[in-house]
Structure 1
Amino acid sequence: MTDPEYMDRAEAALAAIEQACDRLNDALDVDLDNQRVGGMITITFANGSQLIVNLQKPLQEIWLAARSGGYHYRHDGTAWVDTKTGEEFFGNLSREATLQAGRPLAFTPG
């Protein structure tokens, strides 16, 4: 994948996360605070816990930091997948957000 392709896909993923936070706040009143600085989004939950998603441009990856650990995702042509487990990024983000929020939260790629 070229650098511009990576950036297009990665920026689309970050935009989808921001939109999902807005949608979840409106629909479920979960009090998610999302802040974006450059290629990094910090999602803060009502209990003070955080998820951090950031772009790793030199590696063409997206990284997720959660209470359960850190995850690295690479685009396989279809989706962002974990480099160790093969799990899809948005499914894993939904699982981690659900754990940290204490209620079901769903993030989708678009």
Structure 2
Amino acid sequence: MSQAEYDAAIERTLIGIEDALDNCDRDIDYERADAVLTLTLEDNGSQVILSRQSANRELWVAAKSGGYHLGFDNSGDEPGWKCTTTGEDLPTLLDRVLSEQMGEPVSLGLQ
């Protein structure tokens, strides 16, 4: 993946997450500052942070349960961000960590 392809994929992903949060029925605020998207759970103030790691061409997710590194996987039928340690795709990982931190099921409906 070239740097331009990586940048485009990250931008699409972050915009998709922002759109999903705008349509979510949970109290999750977000703030984007350049390469970092911070999700704040209003009920308890905890945060999930997504950050662009251009040097590695990765997307990192920091949550209470740990830090996750995701690389873009073009090899399957459904290309997307995959966690290098858990094998989860980004929608599954994000729903899981948000659910764990909220203490109730969260589904952003990301593709």
| Fold match (TM-score > 0.5) | yes
Partner residue of 2:36 out of 26, 34, 40? 40
Distance across 1 between alignment mates of 2:63 and 2:21:
16
Which contiguous aligned blocks of 4+ residues in structure 1 show a shift greater than 4 angstroms?
Answer: none
The alpha-carbon deviation at position 108 of structure 1 amounts to 4.0
For the 8 Å contact 2:51–2:61, the answer to whether it is kept is yes
Long gaps (5+) in structure 1? none
Long gaps (5+) in structure 2? none
The equivalent of 2:55 in structure 1 is 58
The alpha-carbon deviation at position 85 of structure 1 amounts to 2.4
Q: CA RMSD in A?
A: 1.2
The equivalent of 1:106 in structure 2 is 107
Output one character per residue of 1:55-110: Cα deviation in whole Å (capped at 9) or x when no partner.
00010000000000000000011110111222111110011111112222113445
Provide the TM-score with structure 2 as the length reference.
0.89
For the 8 Å contact 1:10–1:62, the answer to whether it is kept is yes
Q: Helix, strand or coil: the match of 1:58?
A: coil
The equivalent of 2:83 in structure 1 is 82
1:13 alignment partner AA? T
1:94 alignment partner AA? D
The equivalent of 2:69 in structure 1 is 72
Provide the TM-score with structure 1 as the length reference.
0.90
Distance across 1 between alignment mates of 2:83 and 2:109:
16
Higher helix proportion (structure 1 or 2): 1
Higher relative contact order (CA 8 A, sep 6+): 1
2:66 alignment partner AA? G
